[in-house]
Amino acid sequence: MRHDDVWRAIDTLAAERGLSPSGLARKAGLDPTSFNISKRRAHDGRSRWPSTESLAKVLDATGAGLDDFTALVLGARALPETRGRARTRIPLIGLAQAGTSGFFDDGGYPAGAGWDEVDLPSTADPNAYALSIAGDSMEPVFRHGDTVIVSPAAPVRVGDRVVARNLEGEVMAKLLNRRTATRIELASLNPVFPLRSFAATEITWLHRIIWASQ
């Protein structure tokens, strides 16, 4: 759990309710300046984190659940709203199997008849697909056996959790650590695994993880 991710989740909760961060703080019964940008760092540059009490009050004030907030921290750009939300069947494949041929077209969209299906919260992207995580490179956020929804249509920025495929056909779930016109750096959340750096031309596609079932 990263400092910037927690604050981004709070900002998203506020925006979902048509509020500014100060408006959200006021609605939660907190000092209106509690969530101001200036309050997120100490004068010496150290990170300031919201207290668990503040988070509990925010969730109570917005009606969001802890699972909703967790999804935002994990990288969702909007509330999943899984309670009462329409569900749909999304194509599913294992991460290890995804590296073999025949499951994606040249644009990185699901293709072929080898996909299974899983019933998960619906998404606005008709080309969204699900992957079953294999291995421990993304622990402790994504564990072996977790299912993630991946959206080819979602914009990708540095700091997002993504699924990438390289020219050798390897499909990997990683954190987009750095991206320039010529290089793409992908990091594992598990510090045991080294940073991987590719020429931009070596990555055939890069899709954002928008939801996780854990």
- Domain borders along the chain are 3-73, 87-213
Could you tell me if 34 and 26 are in contact, meaning their C-beta atoms sit under 8 angstroms apart?
A: no
Above 50 in pLDDT, residue 7?
yes
Rounded to the nearest integer, the mean pLDDT of the chain is 83
| β 116-121/129-132 pair status | unpaired
Could you tell me if 137 and 189 are in contact, meaning their C-beta atoms sit under 8 angstroms apart?
A: yes
Mean pLDDT, range 19-36, rounded to an integer: 88
May I ask the CATH class of domain 87-213?
mainly beta
Mean pLDDT, range 158-185, rounded to an integer: 92
Distances (CA, A) of 93 to 55, 74, 88: 35, 21, 16
May I ask the CATH class of domain 3-73?
mainly alpha
Give me 47's structure tokens.
Answer: 């990170």
Above 50 in pLDDT, residue 124?
yes
